[in-house]
Amino acid sequence: MLFFACVSILALTGCMMGDSLATGSVSANLPHASSSEGIQIRENSDFKDALRIVDDVLTSQGYIKNSQPLAPKDQERGLVALYGGCSVSINGDTLTIGFAEFHAHHLSSRARKTRNLLAKKLGDRFGAGGVTIEN
C-alpha cells in the first residue's frame, strides 16, 4: 500500500527518475470498518472518524488537501485523498497515510512529527495495537 501511495504522489508531482525520495507511512486498522451487511467502507462511521482525524492533523500541520476530484480508477484502487506530499488510502479495513518528500533521504522533522501525531491520535481512537509506523 505504501508503494501505491508513493507512486501516486510521484505521478502527480512529476518527480524525475533518479531523484532521491524519502518515504514513510502510518497505518491504522479500523476494527469495525468491515461489514457483513454490505455497507460500503466509505459510509462506515469508523472510516469517517478516521478521515476526520487525518484531515484535522494534516491541515493543522500545514498540509493542504487537493481540491481536485480523484479519478475513478484511483478511487477503485483505494485512494481516498491527497494532501501536499501525503496520500490517504484504504485497503480492506486498513487506512494508510503515506508521506513522500523529494530530494531527501529521510523524512523531514515536520513529516515525522505529523506521522507520529497521526499515530497517536489514531491509536487513541482505534487502539494503539492497530497502528503501525513505517519509515
State which residues form the domain around 77: 2-11+20-134
List the pLDDT tens digit at each of the 135 positions of the chain: 555 555 555 555 555 555 677 899 999 998 776 544 434 667 788 899 999 999 999 999 999 999 999 999 998 899 999 999 899 999 888 999 999 987 777 889 999 999 999 999 999 999 999 999 998
Based on the structure, what is the number of domains in the chain? Answer: 1
Q: What is the CATH number of the domain that holds 57?
A: 3.30.160.110
SS3 per residue for the chain = CHHHHHHHHHHHHCCCCCCCEEEEEEEEECCCCCCCCCCCHHHCHHHHHHHHHHHHHHHHCCCCECCCCCCHHHHHCCEEEEECCEEEEEECCEEEEEEEEECCCCCCHHHHHHHHHHHHHHHHHHCHHHEEEEC
Separation between Cα atoms, residue 122 and residue 114, nearest integer Å: 12
Looking at the DSSP bridge assignments, the partners of residue 134 are 25
Per the confidence metrics, is the pTM higher than 0.85?
Answer: no
